Structure 1
């Protein structure tokens, strides 16, 4: 009897090749590229908060916009730590974190303070908002490029979350006092300019990254932490903004102290110590 070669269906070879796992030179299966879910979920949540703040500002709901920025700060502080604890650091996560920070701590605060107060100043208002936004972009770009050579104990310039807290905290405190944005337009102008320009200076700000939570501390430290938490619970709006103002001025104090003592003002690292690429703002 004549034999017939079975005909393969069109695309059968492609399907077989698609289902076959790739092997490396040693014959071991190659792991497919992907992204880690847990840390990037925190980053996505922070990005959503920044976008939500922009939407609420456009709807003139500034209290919700301000709280969204603060929630984004908490989430931004968690994503890097979660990645290190679970050993899920990746270059994708580092870049995604920077883009999320640009929205949450760059574009969102600039738009919120513009809609709340700076709109009444005309060109001066949107220029101040743009300077803040551009300062945040330059700050994040410089952080990504200098991460291997900067002393990890300090930030080079004001961190973008702290700058966003200066802007958002100011709006929160003025709203708590019942003061509208139009009444303090020029003060808002100064706050936006100060935050935006301080982000791109070389002033060192303490990063708290060398704090070891496993070491013992004096009893007064625990008492001070409890006192701050109690004050925040009593009146969050009136306590939170002054704390970030103190931090925003602390860099200039460190700069002047170093200058007076003749110590190097630059925090560009000359030793072998370097930051890991996952230690984002």
Structure 2
């Protein structure tokens, strides 16, 4: 019976991601984000449960990636598509009509660029499944971390109430650049530390403990705006950790 527990958690991740897609389509980003956070929670604990119960399986690995493809692949791509659509409404210098190369039957084509994140996520998940080296570290930004980065944008718009920040997030060039950066980071060769503790000593986990403490501080001070800062911090600390280990 215990061998089904990790797979059940993975399926809950998939369910949360599927529900999140529905809310994104209906422009309810706050509720969608809640289900994304919940799905990522299940994604973390399905692997944890499999290791603790000693019931890891090839089926579980494949099922986990399939669930991640929705929660941490399709959802962020859809969110970026929606954000690019919002930014599109302010592209006053581009007249969109049925004869424009940027539209098809009144559907803007350029925002579809956001779905490049979904494609990059699928490619990363496929590479991860056949890479036997990524046991103690990640090569490239993990899909859940990238998803948190993208999903944080509509939450910042909703709750931070800053005209300056809103203007940046809804800037077409910012969103396009972030989409390209996201796709690159997902499939880069940058080694990023994993939040897996072999023991609880500070000496062997100094980077992880410092990162967690800084995350808590940033979340308290910056709220949802802390998420992009935390992702940047994660990358910087990983690069520094790689340099010091050498």
Q: Tell me the SS of whatever aligns to 2:36.
A: helix
Counterpart of 2:112 (choices 106, 126, 136) is 126
Q: What's the CA shift for 1:96?
A: 0.4
2:84 matched to 1:99?
no
Give me the whole-angstrom Cα distance separating, in 1, the residues matched to 2:118 and 2:209.
Answer: 37
Say if 1:190 and 1:47 are closer, same or farther in 2 by CA, change over 3 A.
same
Give me the whole-angstrom Cα distance separating, in 2, the residues matched to 1:132 and 1:224.
Answer: 26
1:90-169 mapped onto 2 (5 Å cutoff): 90-118=57-85, 120-121=87-88, 122-127=108-113, 129-146=114-131, 148=132, 150=133, 152-169=135-152
Q: Tell me the SS of whatever aligns to 2:171.
A: helix
Give the paired residue count.
222
Determine if contact 2:191/2:238 at 8 Å carries over to the other structure. Answer: yes
Say if 1:56 and 1:204 are closer, same or farther in 2 by CA, change over 3 A.
same
Q: What's the CA shift for 1:227?
A: 6.6
Q: Which of the pair has the greater relative contact order for Cα pairs under 8 Å at 6+ separation? A: 1
Determine if contact 2:215/2:230 at 8 Å carries over to the other structure. Answer: no
Q: Tell me the SS of whatever aligns to 1:117.
A: helix
Q: What's the CA shift for 1:124?
A: 2.8
2:20 matched to 1:53?
yes
Say if 1:136 and 1:228 are closer, same or farther in 2 by CA, change over 3 A.
closer
RMSD: 3.3
Unmatched runs of 5 consecutive residues or more in structure 2: 89-107
Q: TM-score, normalised by structure 1?
A: 0.67
2:49 matched to 1:82?
yes
Determine if contact 1:117/1:181 at 8 Å carries over to the other structure. Answer: no
Aligned counterpart, 1:237: 224
Q: Which has the higher helix share?
A: 2
- For the pair shown, the structure with the greater C-alpha radius of gyration is 1
Q: Tell me the SS of whatever aligns to 1:229.
A: helix
Q: What's the CA shift for 1:105?
A: 0.4
Determine if contact 1:35/1:92 at 8 Å carries over to the other structure. Answer: no
Larger mean CA deviation between 245-254 and 133-142 belongs to 245-254
1:241-280 mapped onto 2 (5 Å cutoff): 241-250=228-237, 257=243
Q: What's the CA shift for 1:213?
A: 3.5
**CA-to-aligned-CA distance 1:162-191 (integer Å, 9 cap, x gap):** 111111123322322333898333322222
Q: TM-score, normalised by structure 2?
A: 0.76
Q: What's the CA shift for 1:35?
A: 9.1
Give me the whole-angstrom Cα distance separating, in 2, the residues matched to 1:190 and 1:125.
Answer: 13
Say if 1:115 and 1:216 are closer, same or farther in 2 by CA, change over 3 A.
closer
Determine if contact 1:118/1:182 at 8 Å carries over to the other structure. Answer: no
